[in-house]
Every structure is written in structure tokens, then in C-alpha cells.
A and B are shown apart, each in its own frame.
Chain A
Amino acid sequence: MIIPTHPNNTDFLSVPVLDLEKALSRVHHKKDLLKRVIDIFIQGLSEKTDLIEKEIKNQNWESLGILAHSLKGSSWTIGAQQLGDIAFAMEKASEKKDMIFFHHLFQIFKESVHRFLEHGQNLKL
């Protein structure tokens, strides 16, 4: 797992945002299904990122843990390894109720979401 200290870290930027082969294997190589799945994933990313912003303000650790856990599972499922790895680290930070670290990871997560969305626009299935 590569968790950078700063999102401009070259390691961070060199990690592919989506393993397309893995993503296709999850849906038995059905491209139509993958398109629908990615649409739902992107919608979920946006909704959950907004919710995390809100729950950080409320310091609602239970909800932050569930959100990070959910993002980890869906990201790994879709082959978005980096997003899943950062979400995993966020889940761990939520267990320790470490807001400074959680917030730091969340900034990196948002950068990774940005990269994913940019990549998604150019994705040809």
C-alpha cells in the first residue's frame, strides 16, 4: 500500500487509478455492466465524499468508519486499488479516532478521486 505524505508524490501519481482488467473480470467481461457499475461507483464516490466532509465536522467516528469501509470494499471491487488502499487507511484512522491523520488521508483520498474522475472521462470501454 502506498500512502503518500503529499498527493504530488511521484509514487502516488504513478499508481494506475483503475485496473481495467481486474474491473472487467469482476463483471465477467461484460462491458455494459461495467459501464453501469462505474457510473454507480462514481455517484457513490461523490455522495460519500460529501458525507465524510459532514461527518468530520460532527466527529461521528462510527459513520466515518462505515463510510471508509464501504469505499474500501467498492474501490477494491472495481479495481481502483489506490482509492481502496487510502480508504482502508482512513478506516484504520477512524478506529483510532485520529482526526489529524484521518483528515490528512481524506485530502489524499480526494486527490485520488479527482484522478479517478479524470481517468474515467477518458475511459473507453
Chain B
Amino acid sequence: MNKDKIRFLIVEDDEMIRMIHKDFLRDLYPESEIFEAENGAQGICQHFEKNPTIILLDMMMPILGGEGFLDILEEGHNCNILTNKPKIIVVTAIKDVKELMSIGKRFAVEAVISKPLVQNQLKSLLEDWLS
């Protein structure tokens, strides 16, 4: 993956957390493009329009949550409507272990990180993928 052409999509309903993620990613990869969505529905639209390479996904959001977002993405791929398979990092405040394990098995989900986000965890993941 070319780190100059990374397109991040942050799908997170909390403006404050989006701002922290965005600042962190911009510091780490100044040449990357960063897009934002306030819920899963906006996230799907952004995915179609921007074709992100890496998605940071919250799970519990109004209108359409992370589960719904992943359902639509998976369906889109099964129907060949979507061809680009992004790497998805779920960043969630869900604490239930079974639920977290089940999220980790979902389509395109490469990692599940607990909130509050320890940014070094995210950094080392991204460095592994982008080195």
C-alpha cells in the first residue's frame, strides 16, 4: 500500500472523536486524504464516492450503526457492486468480549480496538500495513 495515496474514512458519530482521529492521522500521514462520516449511512455514501483504503469504524451510531454498514459493504461485494475491499479498523466502546470477537470476524474487519483509543495501537497497525 502506497502511503502517499492512502485515503482514510472515519465513520464516527462523535465529532470530538472524529477530530482526534483526524488530527492523529494527519500527523502520521500528512499526504493522505481523510474523509468523515457521522453514521453508517453517510459512511456508505462516502465509501462509494471516495473509495477509501482504510476505514476507522465506530459500531454504535444513530441512523445506521457499524453492523449495518458492514452488512451493506459485504452485500455490495457479494453482488460485485463494490470491488475495492478496504481494511477496516473497528474502534468501539463495546466491552462485551463475545460481541467484540464476533465483530472481528466480520467482512473486511482487520482489527478491533477498544475506546478510549490508544493511538500507539493504531499507529503500529498502520505502520505494519503501510511499511
Contact = CB atoms under 8 A, between A and B. Distances in A.
Interface of A: 26-28, 30, 33, 36-37, 40-41, 44, 63, 65-66, 69-70, 72-74, 76-78
Interface residues of B, number: 19
Contact of B20 (A26, A66, A72, A76): A26
B16 A30 contact: no
Contacts, number: 54
B15 interface: yes
A27 B20 contact: yes
Nearest to A87: B93
Nearest to B94: A69
B63 to A, nearest CB: 10
A104 to B, nearest CB: 22
Contacts of A74: 14, 16-17
B27 interface: yes
Contacts of B15: 40, 44
A6 to B, nearest CB: 27
